[in-house]
Structure 1
Amino acid sequence: MSHFSKSGPAPTRRTLLRTTAAGAALTTVGLAGSTAAHATSPVRPGPRIGILLYDGFSVLDATGPAEVLSRLPGAEVTMVAQRRGPVRTDTGDLRVMAERSIADVDRFDVLLVPGAGARGTTSTIANRSLLEWIRKVHRHTRWTTSVCTGSLVLAAAGLLEGRKATTYWASAPYLESVYGVTYVPERYVRSGKIITAAGVSAGLDMALQLSALMAGDTTAQALQLALEYDPQPPFDSGNAAEAEPWLKELALQLLAQSQV
């Protein structure tokens, strides 16, 4: 970011653009020099990452980790769904494009299953073709991951049997009682090659940990800085274990009212 003196004239849009362009030009020169110096170095392909979309998924569950993982060196992130095309999120306000269908691909290095509202989660855990595809892909992944209630989908596919996992706080009793999974109230939980993340924003934490596992701590730390992920929320109310019952009830009401 450019620095402007408080005592000097206020920057105009033109000077802002000129300064930004100059910085970009310097960066480009630096990159060009680096590329030339390493032109003979072999390029190693990065991980192939598939993110499963389904009707009613929560947008940050998928796009938060995608923002992190797509910047891993050589990484290729693909949004995939039962059918190619736009997939509606839980609020109905957004649609994210699925580039591939499950019929097109059955191999990924990393599989990520996002969570959803009640409608999306319920329909997906009952979708036999999606569950079979998840099982098929899981057989060849280096890492199989989920965010929020995506862990319920993994459990429905039979992948969490006898494991510890996390999920959205309100779904923890269901995960334990229906699937016999040991719930751990952490931001993310690793069990073998499966990593589950807690609700929504926890997908960012999980993606950074996954980046460290695949590319090393230094790269993951650089990615965190590149994305300026330095959470400092205005309220200390994001931990369900410390929240008052009335606040939990209001949180669930707001979610339900926002979903279609």
Structure 2
Amino acid sequence: MNMIGVLAFDGAEELDVVGPWEVLTASSALLERDGAPPDQVLLVAAGLEPVRCRKGMRLLPDATFADHPRLDVVVVPGGDGTLLASADRLLLDWLARVGAEASWVASVCTGALLLHASGLAAGKRLATHRVFEDRLTELGADVVRDARWVADGNVVSSQGVSAGIDMALWLVGQLHSPRHARATQRYIQYDPAPPYQADV
């Protein structure tokens, strides 16, 4: 069983939180169905008050920085709120502390900025949203471009928004097995086939 903490903060991008959450909790449900110990997934924030995401969705944290159990995996979303969060000493100190003890640290989109600002990404290659790649490079990060997700040691990061689902499925394969990750993908019926592809 893994204890997984998904960070929540004001201005986080909704799908950066909910995409990995869906993958990780679906994986846990399948484990439990098959008689294996399920992973536990918690939403962790500075306090227990509702967190307002970038487009208005409100999230209710399960635990605070001060009272959560030891985390095996930490998931850091992105969104416009990362700009303020990157100057939030309480958040960065928490992230540095729990990330140093975790088996895996993962980020989605501009969550890579928080990994960089906390020091967890020192010497690591990172992926981030394509419109933020230049800025993160200017800040001194080693940015990999045109990669949906990048794993470097125990740090895995992804490009923007929906790329967090791909990253989370890969992470499930590392935590359990590629076979289980494929079962999770089938369960959530994740088989992207977007319309209007010629316009992308």
**How do 1:1-260 and structure 2 match up within 5 A?**
46-72=1-27, 73=31, 74-92=38-56, 94-105=57-68, 107-117=70-80, 120-236=81-197
- 2-side partners of 1:198 and 1:121: how far apart? 15
1:87 positional shift = 0.5
RMSD: 1.4
- 1-side partners of 2:166 and 2:39: how far apart? 18
- 1-side partners of 2:66 and 2:151: how far apart? 29
The count of residues paired between Structure 1 and Structure 2 equals 191
CA contact (8 A) 1:176 1:183 kept: no
> What one-letter code is carried by the residue in structure 2 that aligns with 1:99?
D
Specify the SS of the correspondent of 2:101.
coil
1:162 positional shift = 2.2
Which whole-Å deviations, capped at 9, do the CAs of 1:89-129 have from their partners, x for residues lacking one? Answer: 1012x101111110112620100000012xx1111000011
- 2-side partners of 1:193 and 1:184: how far apart? 19
> What one-letter code is carried by the residue in structure 2 that aligns with 1:135?
A
**Which residue is 2:34 aligned to?**
none
Gaps of 5+ in 1: 1-45, 244-260
Specify the SS of the correspondent of 2:44.
strand
1:59 positional shift = 0.8
- 2-side partners of 1:172 and 1:228: how far apart? 30
- 1-side partners of 2:65 and 2:146: how far apart? 32
Specify the SS of the correspondent of 1:126.
coil
Structure 1 residues 234 and 154 mapped into 2: Cα distance closer, same or farther (>3 Å)?
same
Which whole-Å deviations, capped at 9, do the CAs of 1:151-209 have from their partners, x for residues lacking one? Answer: 01110111222221100111001111113323332111000000001100001000100
**Which residue is 2:35 aligned to?**
none
Give the TM-score, by structure 1 length: 0.71
- 1-side partners of 2:136 and 2:67: how far apart? 31
- 1-side partners of 2:145 and 2:115: how far apart? 16
Identity percentage over the alignment? 37
> What one-letter code is carried by the residue in structure 2 that aligns with 1:96?
L
**Which residue is 1:27 aligned to?**
none
Specify the SS of the correspondent of 1:71.
helix
- 1-side partners of 2:198 and 2:109: how far apart? 18
Which whole-Å deviations, capped at 9, do the CAs of 1:12-41 have from their partners, x for residues lacking one? Answer: xxxxxxxxxxxxxxxxxxxxxxxxxxxxxx
Structure 1 residues 176 and 230 mapped into 2: Cα distance closer, same or farther (>3 Å)?
same
- 1-side partners of 2:154 and 2:10: how far apart? 26
Runs of 4+ in 1 over 4 A off after TM superposition: none
Specify the SS of the correspondent of 1:190.
strand
Specify the SS of the correspondent of 1:49.
strand
1:237 positional shift = 6.5
- 2-side partners of 1:202 and 1:235: how far apart? 19
1:85 positional shift = 2.5
